[in-house]
Amino acid sequence: MFKSLKTDYIIIAIGILTILPFLILSIFNHPSADDYIYHYISDEFGFVEAQVYWYNNWTSRYLASAVLSIKMLVSGDFVIYKLIPIGLLVSFFCSLVYLLSSLFKTNGLRYACFLAFYVLILYLFQMPNVSEGFYWLPGSISYIFPSILSLILFTHLIKLVYKRNRLSLGMSILMCFLIIGSSETSMIILDCLITIVLGYRYFIERKVNTQILMVFITCVLLSVFVLLSPGNAIRALGYTRDNHQFFEAFFNSLLALKTYVGVWLPFLLLFTMFVLKGISSDDILKLSVFHVHPLISFIVVVFITAFGFFPSYWAQGSIGPPTRTINVMYFYFIIGFVYFVFTLIYYYKKKNVSIVLYPNWVRYTLLIMVLLELGHYNNIRFAYTDLLGGKAYNYDKSLKMRYEAIKNSNHDTIWVPRLKYIPKTIYHDDISTDRLDWKNTSYDDYYGKTILLLDTY
């Protein structure tokens, strides 16, 4: 399949080097902000009552609230907390392999791993916020975890489209239950995707796919449960007065789409041009899932990405979505972009036209350009800088010293030094000098003491 440049081996090697620093940095990770609030509420009310509290007073994310209420995740030396990013990164890769190997069954595991690393590199290279994506638990459970689950959902949903399968139906419904309970952004994108699949299959087959319809009904019912949460209404009161403006939200969503796609697309195109010969498998012709006109897949990708921005602009006005939410949009944009590439390959292969006929010197040039980009300012370089430059180690050391000082102090009020080392990859937030800051009060509730930050290091 591969000639001259061994594209699969190169991408797998780059992929291993890409994910490695993110895995190692996990051991220096620490909880912050909301982590302590969820632990305190669970400790105060008990696990079950804590779920009722969150649903009625703050959020309808029943899965995220349940996971964050598990006290052992934020306790002791935070060993489990440090292991969670490793689990998420490995699960992300394995879910990609699971999806791709189920599609390209005859190409072998190496081909699936090659494609999985191709997607993983694209994601880690320029995801908007790595710390809130993989390392800060409330962000990872609410946004990255449902993205991982969606890969499993896609695997079983594809099977449901073409044949009846009880196992895939059950898995699809389960994944929808978990995804919708994680965040409103993932819920809305999922609802939109299931609606598109149901409508498109009806247009093609002139009959309703009953299994997809069951998944659709499940999504609708769960979404209603989420939207009717009293906690959502209470949380919405804290947003600005310019929210719930349809045309303004629509216009801002289009502007955000234009801005972010302009940032994301150059490397996606460059990297894809390099791997294009490797991913151009003849098996694409045999897979019905890619028998979609490229223009249709392109329109769906643009629509889904733009639609992902809309809920935040609708709910929060001009504030727009936080970067942890944009992590989700970037994920679906990459998945959609890769799907578009496969439909494009199928479209031209069907016409016996090759789109990967550029000479080897061009591919060598593309490889050099990719390596130069990987060495430039991006998340992968930041991860290596945090790791090899000692920021992550010293950040971990400083917090351990803080914990020890809090534990050994006999005073009700404790002043701790400001963190000097801030590793961009894993740092989310810290307490402040303000006693009334909600981050401080959550810290106080967790440790049972008043803890304030000094102005000095």
Query: Tell me, what's the pLDDT at 1?
Result: 40
- Phi–psi pair at 97, nearest 5 degrees: -60, -40
Degrees to nearest 5, angle at CA 289 with 288 and 290:
90
- Phi–psi pair at 353, nearest 5 degrees: -115, 125
Domain boundaries, the chain: 7-363, 389-453
Query: Tell me, what's the pLDDT at 434?
Result: 87
At 453, is the secondary structure helix, strand, or coil?
strand
The Cα 88–Cα 85 span in angstroms is 5
The Cα 397–Cα 19 span in angstroms is 23
Residue closest to 452 by CA, chosen among 429, 430, 427, 435: 435
The Cα 281–Cα 235 span in angstroms is 49
H/E segment holding residue 452: strand 450-453
Query: Tell me, what's the pLDDT at 70?
Result: 96
**Cβ-based burial of 19 (10 A; exposed 0-12, middle 13-18, buried ≥19):** buried
User: Encoding tokens for residue 365?
Assistant: 């040039």
At 354, is the secondary structure helix, strand, or coil?
coil
Query: Tell me, what's the pLDDT at 241?
Result: 61
Each residue's pLDDT expressed in tens, for the chain with a length of 457 residues: 444 568 889 999 999 999 999 999 999 999 998 999 999 999 999 999 999 999 999 899 999 999 999 999 999 999 999 999 999 999 999 999 999 999 998 888 999 999 999 999 999 999 999 999 999 999 999 999 999 999 999 999 999 988 888 999 999 999 999 999 999 999 999 999 999 999 998 998 889 999 999 999 999 999 999 999 998 888 777 665 667 788 888 898 999 999 999 999 999 999 999 998 888 777 787 888 888 999 999 999 999 998 888 888 887 777 778 999 999 999 999 999 999 999 999 998 888 877 777 788 888 899 999 999 998 899 999 999 999 999 999 999 999 999 999 999 988 889 999 999 999 999 999 998 888 888 999 999 999 988 888 776 6
The per-residue DSSP string of 365-397 comes to: HHHHHHHHHHHSSSHHHHHHHHHHTSHHHHHHH
